């Protein structure tokens, strides 16, 4: 009888572990990050932006550093309506990555994410060139946003 109880407890533990893992949460891991050559950063305040609230970074080391800072974040799928509502009610930073050194209006974004002031990260791409169902972080990361701004010398 003792062995059956231990076996049932083991099965219950494994089931609990597997159901926790399948709660639509995953890690934001990229495979094609080495192709990125430029980041266009833009702050949106009160649903408006200006040229003074933009910056372009083309240093490959910094680009890789930023990707490494966000690629292990735990995320879950969300729907567009929730994300639009969140972005309209908070100031945010948009980080658009490109696989070329120059951009013009209409240049396709290779990878992107936005960060709300409350530290919520929103990812629109699963990997480089792979637009996906929007995903948001399961936790808020205000300190990480501050670290990214410091790394890229952003003062807006």
Decide if 2 is inside a domain: no
Domain CATH number, residue 105: 2.60.40
Handedness of CA 131, 80, 134, 50 (dihedral sign): positive
Contact 71, 28 (CB under 8 A): yes
Pairwise pLDDT comparison (14 vs 56), residue with the higher score = 56
Q: Count Cα neighbours of 141 within 13 Å in the Cβ-side half-sphere.
A: 20
Task: Please write the tens of the pLDDT for every residue from 64-117.
Answer: 999 999 988 999 999 889 999 999 999 999 999 999 999 888 889 999 999 999
Report the alpha-carbon distance of residue 70 to residue 145 in Å, rounded. 10
Task: Please write the tens of the pLDDT for every residue from 9-41.
Answer: 444 334 333 333 434 556 666 666 788 999 999
Contact 94, 154 (CB under 8 A): no
Decide if 21 is inside a domain: no
Pairwise pLDDT comparison (48 vs 14), residue with the higher score = 48
Residue in this structure with the two tokens 């089931």, named with its chain if needed: 15
Total domains present in the chain: 1
């Amino acid at each position: 009888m003792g062995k059956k109880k231990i076996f049932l407890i083991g099965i219950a533990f494994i089931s609990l572990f597997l159901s926790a893992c399948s709660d639509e949460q995953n890690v934001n891991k990229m495979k094609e990050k080495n192709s990125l050559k430029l980041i266009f950063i833009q702050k949106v305040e009160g649903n408006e932006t200006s040229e003074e609230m933009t910056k372009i970074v083309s240093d490959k080391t910094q680009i890789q550093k930023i990707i490494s800072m966000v690629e292990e974040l735990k995320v879950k799928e969300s729907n567009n309506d929730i994300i639009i509502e969140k972005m309209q009610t908070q100031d945010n930073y948009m980080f658009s990555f490109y696989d070329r050194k120059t951009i013009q209006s209409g240049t396709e974004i290779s990878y992107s994410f936005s960060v709300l002031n409350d530290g919520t990260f929103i990812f629109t791409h699963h990997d480089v060139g792979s637009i996906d169902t929007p995903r948001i972080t399961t936790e808020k990361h205000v300190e990480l946003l501050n670290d990214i701004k410091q790394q890229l010398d952003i003062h807006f």
